[in-house]
Amino acid sequence: MTKDKNYDVSLVSVGTIDSELHFGPFRMNVVKGNREHFEQPGYICTCVSFYTTEPSISSSNAISTVYQQMFHTKTRFSGPMIMGFDKPDICKKLLEGVLFRPYFVNLELVRIFVFGIARSENDQWGYAGVGFKSSFLFYLAKERCLFLQEFEEDVCKVTIIYKMEVEKIYCASTPNLVWERIFSEQGTKVAKLKTFTGRMLFGIENTITQRFIQTLKIPSCSLSDWNNDVLMEEVYSYHLKR
């Protein structure tokens, strides 16, 4: 059994978080788009006169490419390890001020990835709102598809994606209703998922999800909000008055 190499990594700069990519400009640049897909992150590595000629599909590819140029070897490295993501002190520093981190909700048959949290006053939505997003992978007719789930204005939306192409979009007023439509149309292809409600498949009924949604009820303000009397009254009543 091989032991992972321990790299001596120091954090130079925390950087900033890109709301679309969830990455910041560290030692390596992260851009939008790579040679395989324009909507995914691309990684650019530069060291003096050595550099990647185009955005790589992973940090491992970018770092390994530059190293191989410099030393004429076929050695490959783990990008996340080289960037120090396995170091608790570096991870702790990078996550300072980050209020939300994507997480997984494990059901018996699927693993739901929740990557957006938002609140509404709609109890049928489990008080989730526009901006809440989740997804999971599931096989339809032996083909692995991505189910993207989100809220838009007054509808719940499930988009089925196969090989980066949209196969079908379903919309309804609640998570349960939109999944009833999917069950009705897809039939035996999704029969195994019928043991779950739409809200469960969205990941809304999970205790972690509900805790995040409830946290959004806590009012807050910034320096630019001092003249917003309504918001300041809410902040005062919640944090000071009581």
pLDDT in tens, 179-211: 999 999 999 999 999 999 999 999 999 999 999
The CA-atom distances, in angstroms, between 153 and each of 29, 119, 131, 156, 174 are: 35, 12, 10, 8, 12
Euclidean distance between the first and final Cα of the chain, in Å? 58
Residues 71 and 115 in one domain: no
pLDDT at 225 over 90: no
pLDDT on residue 215: 84
Are 59 and 123 in the same domain?
no
Q: Based on the domain organization, do 170 and 73 belong to the same domain?
A: no
Question: What pLDDT does 227 receive?
Answer: 86
Mean pLDDT in residue range 22-47? 71
Parent domain of 128: 103-215
Residue 12, pLDDT score: 65
156 versus 83: which is more confidently predicted? Answer: 156
Last residue of a domain, one of 66, 98, 130: 98
Number of domains in the chain: 2
Residues 58, 109 within the same domain: no
- Same domain for 3 and 55, yes or no, is yes
Q: Which two tokens stand for residue 98?
A: 């980050």
DSSP run (H or E) holding 64:
helix 59-71
Q: Whole-angstrom Cα distance, residue 127 to residue 205?
A: 10
Where does a domain end: 78, 98, 118? 98
Buried b (16+ CB within 10 A) or exposed e, 41-69: bbbbbeeeeeebeebbebbbbbbbbbbeb
Looking at residue 201, what is its pLDDT? Answer: 98
**CATH label of the domain that carries residue 187:** 3.30.160.360
Total-model pTM: 0.68
86-102 pLDDT, tens digit each = 888 988 888 887 778 89
Is the same domain home to 126 and 25? no
> 31 versus 21: which is more confidently predicted?
31
- Number of separate helices (H) and strands (E) present in the chain: 7, 10
